[in-house]
Amino acid sequence: MRILLASSVACVLFIGGCGNGDGPGVDLGADLTAAPKTPGIAVVRGKLQSSSADGGSGASKATHDGIVMNIKSMVMGAGDTGHTVFLGLADPTTFLSVDSWNDLAAAKGVYASAAFQAAFGQLLSGAPTIDYYVVAPGFSTYGTIKEASNGLPSFGFVVEGTLKETDPQKGATAHNMVLDPNKARAMALTDVAHVPFLKEGTTSVFFNVDIWKDPAKAQAFFMDPNVAAAFAGIFSQGPAVTPYSATDWAQW
């Protein structure tokens, strides 16, 4: 069943390449309309079906890896340039994946397909939540999300909230006034990446992934009253800080 569903997803990604053979395959990653592409990330969240999920073994890992490895070449052909998988640090049945795409329109087509939803149905209990984000322009950053796959253990701390500033340039300035003075300290505490995004279609809904090597030091950093006060100065809502463990699940 896993292979059949993966094959169905492959058919969806290359319209006309499967089924009754009425036409040649069309790569969804191709620039069919000459419209500008919008690169960004797709964040998929859900609850794993299997209670055996532990980030390294069990039925959930096997299911995920079987699906992903069967469709990897297809989704990469549609523009997926990175797939990183995290599980909740407190609750390892909490699933989060971050996929980098060279065009979010193509990503939406892939995730909306019935075949892909069926594939997710093997892994997650209920439909996943999928959100799309673009790189936050002018926001200071360092490292990459892929640092999470550069050797375990590592941990993803997701920071989400609504910025007070709705003007992207002012928002970037406010963000950088908090990040830049604290960067050296955070990195000394094993923070190796800080990658901020804004939700697609907004100028103030903030999503950031920090990759840390030591979760205890990360938690101490975010609980520091000075850091909390700095956050309060730039967020009108939040931020919520959620810790995740990186995994050795199939990714690229």
Question: Which class is 136-246 in CATH?
Answer: alpha beta
Any idea what DSSP says for residue 141? -
Chain position carrying tokens 């309309």: 33
| Tens-digit pLDDT string for the chain (252 aa) | 444 444 555 554 443 345 444 433 344 455 555 578 999 999 999 999 965 555 445 789 999 999 999 999 999 999 999 999 999 999 999 999 999 999 999 999 999 998 888 888 999 999 999 999 999 999 999 999 999 887 779 999 999 999 999 999 999 999 999 999 999 999 999 999 999 999 999 999 999 999 999 999 999 999 999 999 999 999 999 999 999 999 999 999
CATH 3.30.70.100 assigned to domain 2-25+39-132? The reply is yes
| Domain edges within the chain | 2-25+39-132, 136-246
Any idea what DSSP says for residue 35? P
Backbone angles phi, psi at 17, to 5 degrees: -85, -5
Please write the tens of the pLDDT for every residue from 148-178.
887 779 999 999 999 999 999 999 999 999 9
Q: Give the CA distances from residue 75 to residues 80, 130, 216, in Å, rounded to whole numbers and listed in that order.
A: 6, 16, 36
